[in-house]
């Protein structure tokens, strides 16, 4: 049996998304910057996709900029948001994705910005009182706090953060890669200035995403080279990727509640089965359904002697999962997220992440293999 429980790293592309992309690849090959008919019809596809995404988010099409994915979008928001608005102080947390942390650390090292870290508790929840204290103590700040942690699944309160940022005239960027398409983001209500998306996290293609830039914030281009994206991102557009992204997000919104209920039930079932079959199992991050991303479950196992072999043995059993974030796989320093919340002991930690394609049978198979491994290395 083959089981894929690494959907937080990337999701299988939906067949309906592929169909839309094939149509573009086969029939619409013009350069969207060309003024002739072939170019104009492709430009229409891009702008139609932009409008679709903007309508779903209750944003203006002029606030949506297509990028190569979440990392570029985060880098653009952070670097341009700070430099182009003359900000010298940034607030983030030590459990952010490396696309955020490494960018801010590089800017601090270069002397561009002073960086403060807001406290998080043992479940990865932001200390909002400490956030307000940091906002009070510093001149206008740039706040970068993700909506859902990619390793733990713990959610932040975007409305509360947005209210605090508005109160202290701060710019608010949220890495929403893990929640885009899984939560309905209403940008009429959320007081965010920057949000990001990567299509491959919601059954779309890799190599395409977007950055939302609130019209109240002005930034200059991060990538120069042409007049594409209304002079905001040079380079010929990834047209079939853009069409695939819009289709994937549209489908995600159409079936969001149905998928949420199904996946949350699957996650809850796995929690129950792990508790029943593996004494001493622990869960990292928030597991309360109202405070946690329903697609992510981070688990620590009591089999200390196989801390370095758990993922390898799962892979042999045909089960794909992750030891923390896929972006740090292959390193030997452990998860920076788990380290930041106080570590999880000597046993192995595994992130299981679910999608609409997973089943209870896959959970049963996985739990049975985990039970065998923990018994063998008890």
Q: How far apart are CA 206 and CA 229, in angstroms?
A: 19
Residue with tokens 């991303």: 293
In DSSP terms, 283 is beta-bridged to 299
Pick the last residue of a domain from 227, 254, 281. 254
Residues 31 and 146 placed together within one structural domain of the fold: yes
Percent of the chain with pLDDT over 90: 89
Cα gap 14→327, rounded to integer Å: 23
Domain that holds residue 310: 3-12+256-376
At how many degrees (to 10) do helices 256-277 and 239-254 cross?
80
The answer to whether 104 and 92 are in contact (CB under 8 A) is: yes
The residues with which 210 forms a beta bridge, in sequence order, are 66, 197
pLDDT tens for residues 243-279? 999 999 999 999 999 999 999 999 999 999 999 999 9
Of 12-26, 158-172, 314-328, 342-356, give the lowest mean pLDDT range: 314-328
Which helix (H) or strand (E) element contains residue 283? strand 282-284
Mean pLDDT of 5-34: 97
> Is residue 94's pLDDT more than 60?
yes
Backbone angles phi, psi at 148, to 5 degrees: -135, 130
In this prediction, residue 53 carries a pLDDT of 98
pLDDT of residue 376: 79
Q: What is the mean pLDDT of the chain?
A: 94
* Catalytically annotated residue among 80, 197, 327, 374: 327
Identify the pLDDT of residue 307.
59
CATH number of the domain bearing residue 82:
3.40.640.10
Per-residue pLDDT, 256: 98
Domain boundary at 254, 278, 310, which? 254
Residues 219 and 332 occupy one common structural domain: no
Please tell me whether residues 250 and 358 are part of one structural domain. no
Six token digits for residue 200: 């491959």
CATH number of the domain where residue 330 is located: 3.90.1150.10
Residue 326's pLDDT band (cuts 50, 70, 90): very low
Q: Report percent pLDDT > 70 for the chain.
A: 94
Residue owning tokens 């801390």:
307
pTM of the model: 0.95
Confidence of residue 334 (pLDDT cuts 50, 70, 90): confident
| 327 has catalytic annotation | yes
Instruction: Judge contact between 113 and 90, C-beta under 8 A.
Output: yes
Residues 144 and 276 in one domain: no
Number of independent structural domains in the chain: 2
Q: Which of 201, 230, 254 is the last residue of a domain?
A: 254
Q: What tens digit of pLDDT does each residue of 51-90 get? A: 999 999 999 999 999 999 999 999 999 999 999 999 999 9
């Amino acid at each position: 049996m083959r089981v894929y429980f690494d959907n937080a790293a990337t999701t299988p592309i939906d067949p309906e998304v592929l169909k839309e992309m094939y149509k573009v690849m086969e029939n619409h090959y013009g350069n969207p910057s060309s003024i002739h008919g072939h170019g104009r019809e492709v430009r229409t596809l891009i702008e139609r996709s932009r409008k679709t995404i903007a309508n779903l988010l209750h944003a203006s099409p002029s606030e949506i900029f297509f990028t190569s994915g979440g990392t570029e979008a985060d880098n653009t928001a952070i670097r341009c948001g700070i430099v182009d608005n003359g900000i010298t102080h940034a607030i983030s947390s030590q459990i952010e994705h490396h696309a955020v942390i490494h960018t801010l650390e590089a800017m601090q090292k270069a002397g561009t910005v002073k960086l403060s870290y807001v406290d998080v508790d043992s479940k990865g929840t932001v200390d909002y009182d400490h956030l307000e204290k940091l906002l009070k103590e510093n001149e206008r700040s740039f706040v970068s706090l993700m909506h859902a942690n990619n390793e733990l699944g713990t959610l932040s309160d975007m409305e509360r953060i947005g209210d605090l940022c508005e109160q202290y005239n701060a710019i608010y960027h949220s890495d929403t890669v893990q929640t885009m398409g899984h939560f309905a983001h209403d940008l009429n209500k959320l007081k965010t200035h920057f949000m990001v998306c990567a299509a491959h996290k919601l059954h779309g293609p890799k190599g395409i995403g977007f950055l939302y830039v609130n019209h109240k914030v002005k930034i200059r281009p991060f990538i120069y080279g042409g007049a594409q994206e209304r002079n905001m991102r040079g380079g010929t557009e990834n047209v079939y990727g853009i069409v695939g992204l819009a289709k994937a997000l549209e489908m995600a919104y159409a079936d969001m509640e149905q998928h949420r209920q199904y996946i949350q039930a699957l996650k809850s079932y796995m929690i129950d089965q792990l508790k029943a079959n593996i004494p001493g199992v622990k869960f990292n991050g928030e597991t309360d359904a109202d405070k946690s991303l329903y697609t992510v479950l981070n688990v620590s196992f009591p089999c200390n002697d196989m801390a370095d072999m758990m993922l390898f043995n799962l892979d042999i059993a045909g089960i794909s999962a992750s030891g923390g974030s896929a972006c740090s796989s292959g390193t030997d320093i452990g998860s920076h997220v788990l380290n930041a919340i106080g570590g999880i002991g000597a046993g192995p930690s595994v992130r299981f992440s679910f999608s609409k394609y997973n089943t209870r049978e896959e959970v049963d198979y996985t739990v049975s293999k985990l039970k065998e491994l923990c018994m063998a290395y008890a």
